[in-house]
A and B are shown apart, each in its own frame.
Chain A
Amino acid sequence: MNSLMHSLARRLRALRIRLRGLFGARPANDEIAAELESHLQMHIDDNLRAGMTPQEARRQALIRLGGVEQTQQAVRERSTLPWAETLGQDLRFALRQLRKSPGFTTVVIVTLALGIGVNTALFSIVNTVLLHPIALPHPDELVTVSASKPNFATGSISYPNFRDWQRDNRSLSALAIYRHTGFILTGTGESERIHGEYVSSGIFSVLGVKPRLGRLFAPGEDEIGRAPVVMIGEGFWARKFGSDPNIIGRPLTLDSRDFTIIGVIPAAFDLNFYSFRAEDAYVPIGQWPTGALKIRAAGLGIHGIARLKPGVTLAQAQADMNSVSDHLAAVYPEDDHSIRARLDPLRSAVVGDVQPVLLVLLAAVGFVLLIACVNVANLLLARSSARSQEFAVRLALGASRQRIIRQLLTESTLLALAGGALGLLLAGLGTRSALKLVPAALPRTSQIHLSPLVLCFTFLISFLVGILFGLLPAWKVAAQQPQNTLREGGRGVRGTRHRAQDWLVIFEMAAALVLLAGAGLMIRSLVALSRTDPGFQPKGILTFSLAVPNSPAISTEDGARAYLREIDRQIKSVPGVHAASLTWAAVPMTGDDDEELFWLPNEPKPASIMDMHWALRYIVEPDYLNVFEIPLLRGRFLTDADGVNSPPVVVVDQDFAHRFFGDANPVGQTLNLTDPDHKSTIVGEVGHVMQWGLDNDAGFSLRADTYLSLVQQSQGGLSSQNGFVSDIVVRADHPDSVFPDIQSAMRRMNAQQVAYGPKTMDQFIADSLATRRFSMWLLGAFAALALLLASVGLFGVISYLVGQRTQEMAIRMALGADRGKVLRWVLTRGAALAGIGVGAGTVAALLVTRLMASISVEKSSIIYGVHPWDPLTMIGVVVVLMCVALIACYVPARRAASVDPMQALRSE
């Protein structure tokens, strides 16, 4: 061991000295020469003494030494590191070579930088969004829990079922629930509406979140009737209390009730899935002032999250939950007979439908990198063939093939690394600009940055590119016979090299076409969507919410009704507002949905609510029809005459009418509505309004609409101990800018009530298409880049071709061929290459777009309203590609045609 250390130390010392030798600190050549000379002299002296003639003495001494030059060389090699020395020479030579042709160098570096840059940018996004979407401990153990029931695969869980699931399961280490809500905050400045979540005690321990300050909810603290406590978010703590460390134990007034602050949740907690958000305030679910909490069949929008016990698989846990559900269905047949606990990985809830889209984009960007590499290979090939005479001369002068290959590899690696470095710069910029397009639904977008992993990825790519595409021309050079090349006058091994370059250009053209076709279809899809009629006029609609705290004015039914009328009156008196309606249940396109359960007049009452018919429910005021501009097809819409004391009425949409009454007139029919059970007469039929989204409405089984009168619906339930929150929709001239006026009108009416959350309907629709727009922009950018790179490639090949044939063309022209003919010849050549590429690309594009059509975002294909083989798109794309290709050929063609024959011939 000891001797091993010693020998290692010796070697290291020697290496250090040799490394120093690399940079000049070594015995000078003349010192070695002097030592050898003294050696020779002493040897000669001895030989003379032995009686040799002076010549013989010198000759013998030289023979025994084995040559002065060779010995000197051997010593020199020992005094430094030969391989490193050659590398240094190669690097210096490569730099000189690259400086000599700045055009070539720039194009190659920029090409690589673009390819690597966009790759790195997208990989950064994918890295965060897909590979690390959840910044919590052991994220793979986390599952979302929902109640699957008819019409809802992932429906909401009732509080009693949650308690039973929590008690009965054996596969979850913890189960928790949450329910999104909002509170009116008073007592700290102007009253304000804040976001909150009702949660069960275990939620933060399930997720593995530690409090920034204070403590988490204790077990049992979430039960009904316990003392009111609250945890607040770090952002809210900073905004409202200036991060006061003595906040614990202080009261927070929410919806006019005092809650004791017990802890602060760190700002780093940014989980966002389904309806759960990291919010301002978290309140135990037992504090929710709704009587429905205790009802087992209630659908209150409560969802669950759980952590699997270590070692338990999702399938095992699901089987366990199934038996728990079966047991409950037997105990509570009326409420639970078709309800099952359903587990899904949290990962898929967080990443959602973005995954396939990002993978498509990653594939596209991979294509771009491939094109960039092909381009670089092409340029290197053209360059190496232009330099074939240089190599032939060096080979003839005794350079080894190995050495020349190494030289070429050094050059291309240098280019690749420079491209990689510049690419990283572009990636930084690209990531930042891509983030502006990223749909808000993507998880952890604020965390997206260039990670060390991405950095390695980039340099690995650029290094591989360098090696790979340095090898191609190097291999050509190695196969070359110097005498042939020299005889040919430097025109190289023409035939094979041309073919390789042609194939590369054809490939580039084909790949660019595939990307263009994909981007074209995405654009067409968005155009088709923008022309889709949602069933109403979204332009001009503003939605917002109004939170009204409890007060004596609304504590009676009549008082509350008068208050609602006053709200309407105040809003309609704001200049520029034409129509306004409170709306209490579903709102189209906003993600808020609500259902009416009913049975038809000719049917017996179903035993369970699960066996009833379902329809979307909009609880609105008469002016709603004017706000949304929905066409009235039959009968009438709700009117002010539909009051508390008049018979209950309902308006249905076309879809409802067709589904439940076929071609018969629904007006005059009676529906048996629930909650509470009562009969209601259909008084009108309106056009269908898309509830879910422009692109996916048809994908939902639940799409029949019903409209109920707000005044009639609220019968007996309008007055409230806790005030109320209502959505309000208005039609205004300037929906973007009218909100402050509405807000101040509301404040004037009651300083305690808060109008908040303004958003135009156009914005909702744009948001629902954000993922599409994101992929369209990126795919479009990639396609443009691919087109640019492919045309640079074509330009390079045609220029090279023209350069090679200058003499031939000069002779032709000298012999009388006109310039037009030369021009045509070059253009034909380029068009032929592009044409073959387009042909191959079209076939590939037809396959790829078919594949794309099978990828869907939120229940609808990413190719919408246009056939994946849409001829218009295909033709358009082909025309664009051919035009760009011809322009790329035209420049070198013009140069060829303007050759002066005499000058070209003389230069030989």
Chain B
Amino acid sequence: MGDKTDVWQGTLALMVMKTLETMGPQHGYGIARRIEQTSGNLLALNYGTLYPALLKLEQEGAIVSEWGVSDNNRKAKFYRLTRVGRKQLEQEARSWEQAAAIVARFLSPAEEG
């Protein structure tokens, strides 16, 4: 389980941070729905895995949380990206793009001669 979770959690963390960057402060449920929508419903997210990932980001200082009220007047815990989080997002997005580009080059038909 160990390796897979790490990779998965790493990716999940990236998605969470990107979501918070675009949407501003958001609660867990909102983040989960947004990730699903953004993925074009291709990603069947187990909502339960989101919460340890949020806690990890909070412990690392990338996000902070506080209780607030949702659009439907429900009490909910809202998460917000910090400056540290923004920097981290920038870094991780860059390295993810790099990795994706490299893999893409391997998968796309060879053109260079």
Contact = CB atoms under 8 A, between A and B. Distances in A.
Interface in B70-84: 70, 72, 74-77, 84
B2 to A, nearest CB: 13
Instruction: Give me the 9 closest cross-chain CB pairs, A-B, nearest first.
Output: A66-B48, A71-B48, A14-B59, A10-B60, A78-B52, A42-B29, A17-B59, A39-B29, A38-B76
A32 B58 CA distance: 14
Interface of A: 3, 6, 10-11, 13-14, 17-18, 27, 32, 34-36, 38-39, 41-43, 45-46, 64-67, 70-71, 74-75, 77-79
Contacts of B61: 10, 13
A38 B75 contact: yes
B74 A38 contact: yes
Contacts of A66: 46-49
Interface residues of B, number: 28
23 contacts: A3-B95, A6-B88, A10-B84, A13-B60, A13-B61, A14-B59, A17-B59, A27-B55, A32-B51, A35-B28, A35-B77, A38-B29, A39-B47, A42-B30, A42-B70, A42-B74, A43-B47, A65-B47, A66-B47, A66-B49, A70-B48, A71-B51, A74-B52
A6 B62 CA distance: 12
B53 to A, nearest CB: 9
Interface string B41-68: 0000011110110011001111000000
A66 B84 CA distance: 31
B52 A75 contact: yes
A36 B27 CA distance: 11
B72 A42 contact: yes
A70 B52 CA distance: 11
Interface in B21-44: 27-30, 33
Given A10-B60, A10-B62, A14-B60, A3 B91 contact: yes
Contact of A36 (B49, B51, B72, B84): B51
Contact of A64 (B47, B75, B84): B47
Contacts of B87: 6
A65 B48 CA distance: 5
B52 A42 contact: no
Given A17-B59, A39-B29, A45-B74, 10 more contacts: A10-B60, A10-B61, A35-B28, A36-B51, A39-B47, A42-B72, A43-B29, A46-B33, A64-B46, A74-B51
A14 B47 contact: no
Given A3-B91, A13-B60, A42-B74, A35 B51 contact: yes
A77 B52 contact: yes
Nearest to B47: A65
B54 to A, nearest CB: 9
Contact of B72 (A6, A35, A45, A74): A45
A42 B27 CA distance: 10
Given A10-B62, A64-B46, A75 B55 contact: yes
A48 to B, nearest CB: 11
Contact of A38 (B27, B33, B47, B62): B27
A11 B56 CA distance: 10
B98 to A, nearest CB: 12
Nearest to A45: B72
B69 to A, nearest CB: 10
Contacts of A18: 59
Nearest to B55: A78
Contacts of A77: 52
A100 to B, nearest CB: 38
Contacts of A3: 91, 95
A38 B87 CA distance: 30
A34 B68 CA distance: 13
A14 B55 CA distance: 10
Contacts of B33: 46
Contacts of B29: 38-39, 42-43
Nearest to A71: B48
B82 to A, nearest CB: 12
A71 B84 CA distance: 27
Nearest to B91: A3
A42 B33 CA distance: 11
A67 B72 contact: no
Contacts of B48: 65-67, 70-71, 74
Contacts of A74: 48-49, 51-52
A101 to B, nearest CB: 39
B60 A39 contact: no
A41 B27 CA distance: 13
A27 B51 CA distance: 13
Given A6-B87, A6-B88, A10-B62, A79 B28 contact: no
Interface string B13-27: 000000000000001
B28 to A, nearest CB: 5
A68 to B, nearest CB: 8
Q: Which of A10, A42, A78, A79 has the most CB of B within 10 A?
A: A42
A414 B77 CA distance: 44
A38 B61 CA distance: 24
Contacts of B84: 10
A67 B30 CA distance: 18
Nearest to A10: B60
Contacts of B91: 3, 6
Nearest to B62: A10
Nearest to B65: A35
Contacts of B70: 38, 42
Contact of B51 (A14, A34, A41, A75): A75
Contacts of A46: 33
A14 B88 CA distance: 15
A79 B55 contact: yes
Nearest to A14: B59
Contacts of A45: 72, 74
Nearest to B36: A64
A33 to B, nearest CB: 11
Nearest to A77: B52
